[in-house]
Amino acid sequence: MKKYIHYPVLFLAFLIFQACGPVIVSHRLADPPPPWFYPHRVEAVRYIFFPELTMYYDLSSRTYLYLDGGVWVRRNVLPVRYKSYNLSRTRYERVRNYYDDDIQRYHQENNTNRGRSNRSVQRRVN
């Protein structure tokens, strides 16, 4: 008779642990996004693009990516030439659905002609 008493206790314990929900274990604590990036909203994006500065911010590695002498570089601190900008007031765009490390390829495919005028293009008149 004593053997059957354990089954309801185990069943109740199982129900209690099921109600707790999933447990997520991570090897590192999640870094909070910078203060200029949606302070009350979290999104699944990796890069932020600043069109006026032609600069990216990598949320996963917390680095700035920008062109320096025609070469894309990663830095942990904001470059000196951008120190006068307030990033919380500067327009930026979320780069959706791109998680690769090579930002140069993304920039060439999506932003190389951005902001350029087509006034110099000769059009044929028929």
How is the chain split into domains, by residue range?
Answer: 47-110
Burial tier of 39 (Cβ tally within 10 Å: 0-12, 13-18, 19+): exposed
CA–CA gap between residue 12 and residue 1 (Å, rounded): 19
pLDDT tens for each residue of the chain, 126 residues long: 566 667 777 777 766 666 555 444 444 455 666 666 655 555 578 899 999 899 999 988 999 999 998 899 999 998 888 889 998 889 999 898 888 888 888 998 887 666 554 444 444 454
Q: In the prediction, which pLDDT does 108 show?
A: 87
Q: In the prediction, which pLDDT does 22 show?
A: 47
CB neighbour burial string for 95-118, b if at least 16 within 10 angstroms, e if fewer: beeeeeeebeeebeeebeeeeeee
Q: In the prediction, which pLDDT does 24 show?
A: 42
Are the CB atoms for 58 and 49 separated by under 8 Å?
no
Give Rg (Cα) of the chain: 25
Q: In the prediction, which pLDDT does 112 show?
A: 65
